[in-house]
Amino acid sequence: MFIILKPKSMLNKLKCTAILSILSVAAFAQQPILIDVDVKQNVDTFFVKLTVPEKLSKKQNIFQFPATAPGTYQTMNIGRLVSNFEAYDKNGKLLKSELKAPNQYIIAKPQKVKSLHYKVAETFDTNLKELPIYMMAGSSIERDNVLVNAHTLSGYFKGMQNHPVGIKIHGKEGWKTGTALKEKDGYFMADDFDHLVDSPIMSGKLSFAETKIADTPVRIYTFSENGKVNSEMLLKEMTQMLKAAEKFLVKLPVDNYTFLFYFLQNPSGVTGAWEHSYSSEYVIAEEEPTPAFLKSVVDIASHEFFHVITPLNIHSEIIESFNFEKPTPSQHLWLYEGVTEWASHVQLFRGGVTTLEEYITNGLKQKIIVSENYFKPDWSLKKIAEESFNGGDGAQQYGNIYYKGALTASYLDIRILELSNGKFGLREVLLNLIKKYGKGNPFNEKTFFDDLAAITFPEIKDFTSKYIVNNEPFPHEEYLSKIGLSYKRIGKQRVEINKIENPTEAQKKLFEAWSVNMKVD
């Protein structure tokens, strides 16, 4: 997820992550639960009908609305947006149900349930004084468009998180719909609830453009409130970035990808982007399409697109089996967001989209200045991850994952290059981790640092202990000099990083290895 804050300082954008839980093919043998969402009755309320195709058991007596969603790193408590919750049998008879907990309804006779009916307030225009929801993780109904993130208007019966689901948005005639989900019999089909949440839907008066990167179809859907930005315009700007990503990754690990852009004149809350397995969704303040504005959009998209690597293909069991009922942090947020932010910059540099000077400015200097001036210096990356759901200081310090986390990845790359004598770096390690793990095969949350050292070098365990688990200050000059870059700090707000005029042969060799995407088997 990419969060854009109204800046009070240099800290004007942050980011977050979302992830897919893969179901077995056997799930398709089950009849899907069908969700019908009416957005025509009221511009502030979703009218939801959920149809149950099979008889529930007595144990499936709880309907769970999400307390959180993958990659948002915030507590949402969607149950507070729900009203008029009712359960009916096959004859239309009302069954007894009641609110058990903030996000749970208990149904007296679940084995008789045929359908649920309820209303859900949209998040954009609902004043949430406590636990406000990021706009890109929220929902909206307007007269000419609708944005649906499924976790904000649906849930699942106890024990049925893995059940297939179909969703249909009942909008206006002539509306175009964008989503990564496949359509069948008028419904967009998801393998399970996780897949549904992992697949945002946008419908309305949208522009559309598409291309292919290698053999992967890439589709762009755009809603622009005043028509200033369109999909063709964005595709033109994003093509180089997508090609650079292909070079960095060797082969895209997805067979399709969808970008959903939602530009608003006056956003009411925190804007940004939320990445998913086969799509990413962006809620951004609408501006004139100047080169600078379009470049900022491409920079955000570069980050989101790289999430097809992590956490989609590289993640722990905490991400694999997501707990919608109780927020559970992962200590490897540094990998999911910090490494992704590093990659979003370095892939553009190595792909020839940006210059060395631009990379130094955006990928190094800015990260150092913001991290060391606008966040608490005593918070390790592990602590940031563990406190991310708790609000207060946890929420305030979360943004450093995109600055300190990205710097950590930068120096980890340099350290691996040094230890391998320039034969491979962090990129090559990531590509090998995809082969080792991949979708549906999580790494061990507790042992991953040991596992990482085992497939690289023993010294990497010392690195992760110092700069991820603990909070030792970065030796900027020491690490940058390894690749022939000089470092000079001038006061709190200025850093100078330049190429060394007369580098050693070792520095030259490592710089050359650092500057390119090396061949991988």
Q: What is the DSSP string of 295-321?
A: HHHHHHHHHHHHTTTTTTTS-BHHHHS
Q: Is the pTM of this model over 0.85?
A: yes
The residue among 145, 201, 195 whose CA lies nearest residue 168 is 201
Give CA separation, 475 vs 371, 376, 407, in Å: 14, 18, 11
Q: Which of 59-68, 356-365, 384-393 has the lowest mean pLDDT?
A: 384-393
Give the residue-averaged pLDDT of 283-295: 97
Average pLDDT value for the chain: 93
The residues with which 177 forms a beta bridge, in sequence order, are 203
Residue 56 has pLDDT above 60, yes or no: yes
- Quick one: how far is CA 441 from the chain centroid? 19
The residues with which 120 forms a beta bridge, in sequence order, are 46, 82
d(CA 415, CA 467): 12
Identify the pLDDT of residue 359.
Answer: 98
Give the residue-averaged pLDDT of 362-380: 96
Judge whether 334 and 379 are in contact, CB under 8 Å.
no
Domains of the chain, with CATH numbers? Answer: 25-306 (2.60.40.3650), 318-514 (1.10.390.10)
Instruction: Provide Rg for the chain, Cα atoms.
Output: 23
Pair type for strands 45-51 and 33-38: antiparallel
Identify the pLDDT of residue 22.
Answer: 30
Give the residue-averaged pLDDT of 211-225: 95
Judge whether 351 and 243 are in contact, CB under 8 Å.
yes
Question: 521 falls in which pLDDT band (50, 70, 90)?
Answer: confident
Identify the pLDDT of residue 17.
Answer: 37
Give CA separation, 43 vs 76, 156, 174, in Å: 21, 25, 18
